[in-house]
Chain A
């Protein structure tokens, strides 16, 4: 059974803190993604990676960075958390070269920044 896991289900941080969100997939997928989900806005792409050590900006990269040192792991970093980064964060992965382009999502991390 394919699996994407995220390090925390719930996280509470203070403004200005550095925050790390971890994502691990066990499907040997080349592509990994970070989204944030907000009511009325759907899922918005923050960053994605199509290979180890490669990264591309998504639609809303400001205030975030990412790291992909190993194929199975993709980390999202909030350098200095702000209250407007309170959101649900979803990680996903997919395989290159498949017709379906299906993305497999983790359960999400609900981050609250106080």
Chain B
């Protein structure tokens, strides 16, 4: 039973478009919400993370939106590029390092 529910399972977006991936959780004790990016043949790598004291965090073309009352958070990829094609995982944790991952979203950006 996954503690973090992620959708959609896959996503196709045209170059220059916006990719949106959503995650929801139930455990209100979660206090750290990272997103990991995984390219084929590689391990996941931290992309961006947020803590519940802010509602939004932006790093370049990547933005996390966080809604504490709804227990939801999402990743927006603006101006999507073919190099963004990867699998994205949301995650959440209550204490150091023990992460609960979502099921993953495969993003394909077409030229």
Task: Using CB atoms and an 8 Å cutoff, list the residues of chain A in contact with chain B.
Answer: 4, 31, 33, 35, 40-45, 48, 58, 90, 92, 94, 96, 100-108
Contacts and interface: CB of A to CB of B under 8 A. Distances in A.
B62 to A, nearest CB: 15
Interface stretch (B67-75, B77-85, B98-106): B98-106
A112 B11 CA distance: 28
Interface of B: 2, 6, 9, 32, 34, 41-46, 49, 89, 93, 96-99, 101-104
A42 B103 contact: yes
Interface SS, B side: loop
A40 B97 CA distance: 22
Contact of A103 (B2, B42, B46, B103): B46
B96 A101 contact: yes
A30 B86 CA distance: 29
B101 A43 contact: yes
A101 B82 CA distance: 29
Given A42-B103, A101-B34, A101-B93, A48 B43 contact: no
B43 A105 contact: yes
Given A48-B97, A105-B43, A105-B44, 18 more contacts: A4-B43, A40-B9, A42-B89, A42-B101, A42-B102, A43-B44, A44-B101, A48-B98, A58-B98, A92-B43, A96-B97, A101-B34, A101-B93, A102-B46, A103-B46, A105-B45, A107-B42, A108-B42
